[in-house]
Structure 1
Amino acid sequence: MADQPGNPVDGWSWAVGLTAAALTVLGQRTPTVAVCGLAVLLVITDRIGTHADVVVLLATMISLVDLALVRRGWRFTAGAISAATAMFVTFVDVPFAQLPLPFYPIIAAVIGCLVGAPVLLGLRLGAARQTAAEATERAVESERQREAEMAAARAIERAAIARELHDIVVHHVASIVLRVGVARHLGSGGDADTKAVFDDVHATGTAVLEDLRRLVAVLREPTTAGDDPPAPVLDPADLPDALDQAVNRIRQSGLPVTVIVDSAMSQLDAVRGLAVLRVVQEGLINVLKHAGPEATATLRVVASTSGEVCVEITDDGGPTKMAPVRGGGHGLMGLRERVTLLGGHLETGPVPTGWQIRAILPAGADAGARPTVAT
C-alpha cells in the first residue's frame, strides 16, 4: 500500500518515525534493546508500505554505532544479527528460493556495508575514547609523580634548613642566653637599671630560642612536607598586650615612642592581628637601628570606618632631622610579602619629619568604626 496525500497510512508514517526517534534516543542507554526494537520496526515498516522505512533504516544504523561503541560479547552479536536480518527481510520482497543466484553476493554486500560501516565507526570512536582516557590517566599520573617529587624536594630542603638552624643559629642563641644568665647572676648587686636590661635581654633571648626550636620542629615534621610551614597563631585578645610588650622593649632601649592604638584591636582576626604585630616589631626595630635612640617615634594602629587597618610608624630622624639611610637586611622585604599576601600594601620612605613605614591591611569580617586610645 503506497502513501498518498490523504491516505490513512500517512498517520502510520508519523507514528513509525516518532517511534524510531524514541528508540534512537533510548540507544544512548541501552543500545542492544534499541537496535533490536528498530529491527522489528524496520520489518513492520516494510510490510505496511510507508515512506518511513528510510528513517527507520538511518535510525538503525545510528543505533549500531552506539552499540559498537559501548557493547561487546553476546549483546553486540545479538544486536548486529537482528539488524542484518531485518535488512535482509526488507530488501527481499520475494521468497528466498526464487532469487536468482547472482543476487546472493549483492544482497550480502549491501547488508554488510549497511551493518559493517556503523559498526566500524562505533569501534573507531570507542578506540579513540579509550585512547583519550588513557592519555588523561597518564597525564594525571604524571602530575601526581611531579607533585610527589616536588614534595620530596621540599622535604629535603626543609631538613637542610632545620639542620642549619639547629646547628648554627639555635646553638649561638642558646649560648647568648646562657651568658646573659650568668651576667645577671654576677651583676645582681649592680643598679636596678642594669638588672632590668639584663632581665629583658634574657627574657627576649629565651623567647627567641623557643621560637627557633618550634620552627625547627615544624621544618622537620614529615606531615608538613607538602605544605608551607604554618604561621604562628596569635589570639586576637592578646594583640594589645603583644603590642605593649613590643613598644616597651623599644622604650627600654631608650627610644621614646608615642602610641595611638585602636581600642578594639583585640577583636581583629588572628591573621591580620599577627601581621599588625610583625609590622610594629620590625618598624620600631628599624627606627632604633637607623634613627638611633635620640630620635622619637610615633606608632598609630587604627581602623577606618570601612574596616581597613592602617599601621603607621613615623620617626623624626634624630636631632639632625635628616632622613636616615635605609638598606640591608630582609625585614622590610618580609613585611611587604606578608602584607601583600593579605591583599594589602606596604609603603616606606621619607616624610617631612623623618621616615615612615605605613601598612594598609584590607577590611575583614570585623569591619566597622573603631575608637582609638592614645598612650
Structure 2
Amino acid sequence: MALVPVKFGIGFLFVRIGLQFYNELISSQYGFLTMQAEALVHVYMDGSVLLTHDATEMGQGLHTRMVQVASIALGVHIERVNTTETSTATVPNLSVTAASASSYLNEMAILRACATIMERLKLLQMRNYDGVWEDWISAGYKPYFLYSYLSSGISLSPKGFSTTSNTGFDSGKVVGNLYNYFTRGAACFEVEIDCLTRDHNVPRNDVIFQIRRTDIAMAVGNSLNPEQRYSPDGFLLTRGPGAYRIPAFTDIPLEFNVSLLRGASNPKAVHSSKAIGEPPLFLSASVFYAIKEAVKAARSESGLTGSFRFDSPATAMKIRMGCVDQFTEQVHDPNATRVKCASSLNCTSQL
C-alpha cells in the first residue's frame, strides 16, 4: 500500500505518417525546390573515406546512417569511413533538414557517389582480382596502361545528387499518391505519478515500429520536461537546469520493450530504411496521455469528473496543479506566473 497518493495511467497511440511527399507542393508554397540533397565522397590513398553531405546532425543518428551506407556500398570496414560537419564550402545550396526526408535523400546521394567510385574502380579490379581495397585505391592514383594508352589515374572524389521522386500526384485534379510510402507504429506507456510531490515514473514502455531505430527516449523528454516560460516583459525565465527540469536517465522507462516489424520492406529507400524523425516523436505523445489519465484518476477523488485542460509538456508543476486538492485550491490561478524583475539580470518567478 502506498503511503503517498500515487496514481497510475496508461496511454496508447498509433501513427501512420506519409513520407517523401510530392515536390510540387513544396515548390508552390516556398517558390523553390527544398527536398533535395548533395553529397561529396573523398577516397584517400590509404583507403580511408571522407563523407560530406548537406544534412544537419541533431542527435537523430543521421551521420551514423550515412557512414553505414557508404561502408556497405564501397565494401570497406565502417571504421575506414568518416564524416565532416555540414558546410557550404564543400556542398553548396543546402536544403533544410526537416520533414523526415533528409536521411533518405542524403543516403541516396551518398549511394550514387559511391556507385560512381565503384564504376571507376572496375577496370582496376579486373586487372587485380586478388587485390584488396587499398591496392585498388593505390593503383587509381598511379599512371597505368589502358588499351595501349597511358592513363593518368582516376578521380576518386565524385559528387552525388538526389531529390524526392515524383509520386504521380496531380495537384490540379487532386488525384494520385501524395506520398511514396508510409511509416506505421504503435506505443503504449505505463506511468505512475506522485500527487503530493508532483514526481512521475515510467515503469514500462512497449513500442512496435517499422524502422530499425526509434528515438523514443528523446521524444519522451520532449513531451514531459522542457517548457519555456517568460516574464510579462518577455524575459526568458527558464535559462538553465536551475530553472527547469532537464531530461535525465531516470526518465527512461524501467522496462523498455521495442519490437520491429518483420517483412516491412521499403523498396523506395536505401536498404529498406524508413524515416526516423517525426514518427517516433509523435508516438511519445502516448506518455503524455498516460500522465493525463493518472491526473484524471486523482481528480476523480476530489469529485472532479468532467473534462479539464492539461497542456503539453506535462511538467512537474502541471502534474501537481492538475491533481486538485486542498493545497492546490490555495493557489488563485495555477496558470499565472507572478514575476519580480529588478533588472534583466536579476529576475525570479513565483507561483
Q: TM-score range by the shorter chain?
A: under 0.3
Identify which of structures 1 and 2 has the higher relative contact order when contacts are C-alpha pairs closer than 8 Å and 6+ apart.
2
TM-score (norm 2): 0.21
Greater share of residues in strand: 2
Q: TM-score, normalised by structure 1?
A: 0.20
Which is greater in Rg?
1
